[in-house]
Copies of this chain bind each other. A is one copy, B any other.
Amino acid sequence: MIDKTVPTVEAAVAEISDGASVMIGGFGTAGMPDELIDALIARGVGDLTIINNNAGNGEHGVAALIREGRVRKIICSFPRQSDSHHFDAAFRAGKIELELVPQGNLAARIHAAGAGLGAIFTPTGFGTQLAEGKETRLIDGRHYVLEYPIQADFALIKAEQGDRWGNLVYRKTARNFGPIMAMAARTTIAQVRHIVPLGALDPEVIVTPGIFVQRVVESAPALAAVA
C-alpha cells in the first residue's frame, strides 16, 4: 500500500539539505505553506535557492528564511513589498542573489520544467532590461525571448485536501503556483488542511494528480483553525 502521508512537518522536510533548490507556493499569504517553511527553518539548512513569487514580508515564511541567512539566491517576480525589509536589507548588503523574472515567465518556466520542454520562446520582456543578453527571435511578426525551464529539488506547497496517493485540491486563490510547482520539483511536499481517505476526492475535480506529489502532511489543527 502506498501512503504518502507523513505524520509531522519535520518528517516532511527531513530530506532537504544544504544547497537545495526549493520552490515555495503562495501569492501573498494565500497558499503559503507556513508550517513547512517553519519546519525548514527549524531544520537549520542553508545555502538555499528559493523560487517564490515574492521575497517574503513581515517576520514569517520566506522573510524569516532570509532573516536567518538561509537563502543564497531567490528567483521571484516581486521582491519589493511594503514589509519586505529582511529581503531589502540582505539584498542591499549583497548577501542574497536576486533573479528577477516577470511573473508570467516564472509561471511558464516552471510549467515548462514540469512538462519536459527544453526552452520556450516567450513574448514577455522583449526589449526590456530583463531580457538583456538573452536570445531573441522574430516569429510570425512578433518578438520573443528564449527562456529556460526552472526546476527544483523540492516544492513546498499548500493545498486544501490531500489523500494518501498525493492527490490534491486547493481552495480559491490559494491554488496559484501550487499545481505547477508540484510538476516541476523532484520532490513535492504538500501541507494540507485535511487528509481525506482515498476516494473522497472526486476524480473529475482533482487538480494535482498524485504522480506529482511525494509527501502529504496535515497542518496542525490549532494553526489551521487560525489560518
Residues of A with Cβ closer than 8 Å to B?
108, 112, 115-123, 137, 139-140, 142, 144, 148, 169-172, 202, 204-205
Contact between chains at A117 and B119 (CB < 8 Å): no
* Least CB distance, A199 to chain B, in whole angstroms: 16
Residues in B with CB closer than 8 Å to A108 are 115, 117
Contact status A121-B119, CB under 8 Å = yes
Q: Which residues of B contact A117 (CB under 8 A)?
A: 108, 120-123, 144
Closest to A145 in B: B118
Assembly stoichiometry (copies): 2
Known interface pairs A169-B204, A205-B205. Does A121 touch B123 (Cβ–Cβ under 8 Å)?
no
Given contacts A171-B204, A204-B169, A204-B205, contact A119 B139 (CB under 8 A): yes
Q: Which residue of B is nearest A160, CB measured? A: B204
Known: A169-B204, A204-B205, A205-B204. A137 touches B119 (CB 8 A): yes
Give A27 to B99 CA distance when docked, in angstroms.
42
